[in-house]
Amino acid sequence: MSKYDASKIQVLKDIEAVRKRPAMYIGDTDKRGLHHLVFEVVDNSIDEAMAGFCDYIRITLHKDGSVSVLDNGRGIPVDIHPTEKRPAVEVVLTTLHAGGKFDHKVYKVAGGLHGVGISVVNALSEWLEVEVMRDGKVYYQRYERGEPKTELKVLNKKPEFKTGTLIRFLPDKEIFKRTIKFDPVIIQARARALAFLNKGIKLDVKIEGRKDKVITFKYDGGVVEFVEYLNEGRDPIHKIIYVKDERENVQLELAMQYTTTYIEDIYCYANNIHTEEGGTHLIGFKSALTKVINDFAKKMNLVKKNIQITGDDAREGLTCVLSVRVPNPQFEGQTKTKLGNSEVKGIVEGIVRQHLSKYFEENPRESERIIKWVINAARARIAAQKAREVERKKAKIEFGSLPGKLADCSNRGSPQSELYIVEGESAGGSAKQARDRRYQAILPLKGKILNVEKASPDKIFSNDEIKAIMAATGMGTGKLRYGKIILMTDADIDGSHIRTLLLTLFYRYGRDIIEKGKLFIAQPPLYKVKTKKEVYYVHSDEELKRLLKRLGDTKVEIQRYKGLGEMNADELFETTMNPKKRVIKKVTIEDAEEADRLFSILMGEKVEPRRKFIEENAQFAVNLDI
């Protein structure tokens, strides 16, 4: 056994520490961590905007796989640091906890809490280049895996702005082993949200290619325009309520509106960071909203004694954007998904109670509409609970028991277990014969399920097909019964519609299943192509063309599948259910705000937004049966 002494104690330099344990700084080294690099750089530019020194940011996805972020802020200082004896920009890019965010003389509030952002990006990049525009000059330095490779020098080029910073970097394949390819959808979603949260700021997302594409985000209406955007496909019951206030150096901005949907959509941000898991600001808002609704319901004599308005009732149909700016934010983890400042809860609660109470006093008609809507939500909740009780008693089963038509597998609960939700009884029968009973379960459906985007909760929770899906999957309980849930519908328009209805259900009532990466879509073949010697299964018209071109003059027999029911059990297993040969697509949410909006437009009550969307996007539709 080797001797354990002082010589065995390792001291890692900043860059070494980051490269040794990257997940400690960016959450993971997969897709999420990769994009976190971009957001760290963008957050620095946004901090300049919040400080009042920047009104333009450009994010460019370059053809070589690198990404750059340009802003017209003050530019990172380039003079020699008094203690480090190096240019300040080099100190910022190579030293953890170095930056201008630790006292509030430079930034009153900032998104970066830990001061490690840009140096971590540098450490995890194959190379990084910085250009600083100051004093009419462009200063340049290059780094490789966090280490300076050139001295800071002045380039012979005209600066794009009087002052500003350009950071361009290529993620390191040694760190991000699965992918270093950025997803434009994720980048655009972040840019859109930041433009909404910082009214008047212009953000361009440029995608280099054969024809460079530039998407511009600029919203002078700020969070009010954000709520209008989210509610495009919904019917509002009042004008948007807007609140802006500041207490104890905590700034709050809020826009909220009730619509005739049954969906609660609350997006909360702290210092422009999307706090997906909420935090103390969200707790304060929810508490204030429920209190004000209950107080005014009693004051206006609109609620009966036997009805108690809960927080869920008070938020049904509510679309809300809540943004706070906190001088010393405390986030849980470097990826900043939850705000932890205890003092923020009371501040937000106090501001929201004051302004909502004032709104309710000054707008009695709108207030009455809101309260009546909430009371109806409470009644529907009570009715849904009673309906579920009646159904359970009628069926003489205990809560949580599985639906009778479910053909379960023997290894339910294991990571390998799969639940196929299958369109149609006949296809369900074939799937039951085809499956591997050890780990594949089958739940057949009768046609199209209820559209949950339009239906009230009492109708949703009393619907037989939806109850079967919820019971079989564990939806809403936080405990999933299977490792994968796979939607298997026909490869035609009716099948696509059923799949969309199912996706709407999972998005609205089982989003955690999607977020955990457990929801998939089966890809049954469109064609069966037979030659004398071989059988091919083809999933698209494009694939069929390529196959026929490859086969040349070979005589072929082509069968177009109209539905799953046309396949026998062996064919169904080999083409769609065999893990070694099948194609399945994972359902992901890259842009939650846009997903909310599109579900409302495509599956909601309003016809005009849906017609507009179809007219604008029909050119991009593929694989439609005509």
Distance CA 43, CA 190 (A): 10
Q: Which amino acid is at 13?
A: K
- Considering only CA atoms, which of 233, 216, 60 is closest in space to residue 613? 233
| Residue 53 and residue 61 in contact, taking contact as beta carbons nearer than 8 Å | no
The CA-based diameter of the chain, rounded to the nearest angstrom, is 83
Which two tokens mark 184?
């434009």
Distance CA 49, CA 69 (A): 14
Q: Which of 343, 494, 566, 590 is catalytic?
A: 494
Which two tokens mark 273?
């960071």
| Residues ≥6 apart with Cβ < 8 Å to 616 | none
Examine the residue annotation and report whether 492 is marked as an active-site residue of this protein.
yes
CA-only gyration radius of the chain, Å: 28
Q: Which of 245, 492, 512, 543 is catalytic?
A: 492
DSSP 322-340: EEEE-SS--BSTTTT-SB-
Examine the residue annotation and report whether 490 is marked as an active-site residue of this protein.
yes
Residue 11, judged by CB atoms within 10 A of its CB (0-12, 13-18, 19+), counts as exposed
Distance CA 232, CA 228 (A): 6
Which residue carries 């966090």 as its tokens? 146
| Residues ≥6 apart with Cβ < 8 Å to 26 | 33, 36, 37, 40, 120, 124, 334, 335
Q: Which of 43, 265, 423, 571 is catalytic?
A: 423
| Residue 599 and residue 508 in contact, taking contact as beta carbons nearer than 8 Å | yes
Q: Which of 14, 490, 593, 596 is catalytic?
A: 490
Q: What 8-state DSSP symbol labels residue 2?
A: -
Which two tokens mark 53?
């020194």
- Considering only CA atoms, which of 91, 86, 89, 58 is closest in space to residue 72? 58
| Residue 411 and residue 483 in contact, taking contact as beta carbons nearer than 8 Å | no
| Residues ≥6 apart with Cβ < 8 Å to 358 | none
Task: List the catalytic residues.
Answer: 423, 490, 492, 494
